Chains A and B, each alone.
Chain A
């Protein structure tokens, strides 16, 4: 059970599944377009014009919004923020969850009971309500701290930073449970006993011996947590509590689109394009996560 050959064969097994390959390609393309796209559309994301609510045309592929801004540019720019919040938020959640789960599972006994009871409690609370309150409560405070430290670029993006941190910090509970379960099983195996009898310290065993064996399950949950965090960020932005204008994220764009729907003029493109691209991203990530789970999780692989 050494890792390198297994991970190679997992990669091959993944690329043999055509759905998984298609999903990876879609995610890669959307990410690439979001990073590079805004430079090539010919419009700035803040650039307003007189063309209010223009329907999709050759000049504006996805139409324009209330202020005559090019929707495609705004979608791609919003993609940067949505994807970045998804990725970094997930990494934060991963770090906390894996560390917590590993320590809890490895130490066992009373510590484990107390740590897991804590997770039980946190897991059942209204997380998003806490995220909302935390972000608004810390907004001004963080902003002034960052300004005092002369980190103006960071200070200008306080909201995004807080979204990274709090969406991540509030979504590690499931991860911690899964990692703990795996560690409980792994720590009884002989390679861990061997390492212990050779005098390896707790940190070394956790880092060098247990972590590599958890990589599979970590990758699966990484893929499945990113869409959840993207969804939550856009939910907050939809309510006006996340990304603040003139910056955009997929959620805030959909919110603007929903506000522009009325019986007199159905500006469908304002909601169909950002909603569609977001749904496509989430769908691809979810399907990819399912396939990865089939490959890495021995329990579902049997079926």
Chain B
């Protein structure tokens, strides 16, 4: 276990280094100084602005300085929100996005696994067909179509949930469900396929022969094996939920990281954009290490390599 962890974490650190370097390269290719749009500044003022916002020097100097700062956990100043640093912005908005993301993550996995199992157990019955139709429908209707319609129906016509905002559980409900919906459908389809396969295996027949009830067979015996593809989907799922939340945050006016990132991209806010890329990538790299460990705990046949 330990050598695996060390290898995995060092690979993660290496990946992160590559990501940071790539991010810097991309930022460097962005339209140059954020101050060029403003009226002509005297040379020395522009120079001191560049120094203040760490945009002075040769590319190589900027690169090494960026790496050094990021290594110390300093993501730099923001040129769009000038009174705040990128660390402050991310520190305030990331928890909101993470809350929304993790609630959606739980909804997607919970409902997806349940729906997929029901489908697999009642294979080729109306339950299966109905569940799979709902699944393919929710994959095909984009979140940004569902969300405004959901606001229209639940908030404007029926008045049972708030239109937008953040704070109470009522305000979390609609955005989290909208965000989770398509991924819950992916998970359902994934679970169904692998569950159907597992239910045909010998050890399930043995369990049936012992006289166990169908519920117990599925939950205690089949699910553990059938969940493996779902667990390996958890990494991409988390990645998708994080970026998917940009849209949901925009529609429901949630003070998460999304609106800041989109604004940052549009206003060429180098360090804010870079900071978001780096924070998201490192979150996902860490998450994937956890998923790998979970994977082996579910299936002892897999050797950690």
A→B interface (CB under 8 Å): 117, 121, 123-130, 132-134, 136-138, 140-141, 227, 231, 234-235, 238-241, 251, 254-255, 257-258, 261, 263, 266, 268, 271-272, 275, 278-279, 282-283, 286-287, 290, 300, 303
Contacts and interface: CB of A to CB of B under 8 A. Distances in A.
Given A121-B15, A241-B266, A286-B140, A126 B148 contact: no
Contact of B265 (A238, A241, A282): A241
Q: Which of B141, B148, B152: most chain A Cβ within 10 A? A: B148
A115 to B, nearest CB: 15
A275 B148 CA distance: 11
B140 A255 contact: no
A278 B280 contact: no
A127 B239 contact: yes
A257 B151 CA distance: 13
Q: Per DSSP, are chain B's interface residues mostly helix, strand or loop, or mixed?
A: helix
Nearest to B147: A258
B30 interface: yes
Contact of B243 (A121, A126, A271, A303): A126
Contacts of B141: 275, 279, 282-283
A253 B261 CA distance: 22
28 contacts: A121-B11, A121-B15, A124-B284, A126-B277, A126-B280, A126-B284, A129-B280, A130-B277, A137-B26, A141-B29, A231-B142, A235-B142, A238-B247, A239-B246, A239-B247, A239-B262, A240-B266, A241-B265, A251-B144, A254-B145, A258-B144, A268-B152, A278-B142, A279-B140, A279-B142, A286-B140, A287-B136, A303-B197
Interface string B206-244: 000000000000000000000000000001100100110
B151 A261 contact: yes
A124 B277 contact: no
Given A138-B29, A241-B262, A133 B273 contact: yes
B115 interface: no
B204 to A, nearest CB: 15
Nearest to B192: A303
B27 A137 contact: yes
A238 B15 CA distance: 31
Q: Which of A254, A258, A290: most chain B Cβ within 10 A? A: A258
A123 B235 contact: yes
A240 B243 CA distance: 15
Nearest to B277: A129
A303 B194 CA distance: 11
Contacts of B261: 129, 132
A235 B144 CA distance: 8
Interface in B1-38: 11, 15, 19, 23, 26-27, 29-31
B288 interface: yes
A235 to B, nearest CB: 6
Contacts of A121: 11, 15
A271 B262 contact: no
A278 B145 contact: yes
Contacts of B23: 133
Contacts of B177: none
Nearest to A128: B243
Contacts of A127: 239, 243
A125 B285 CA distance: 8
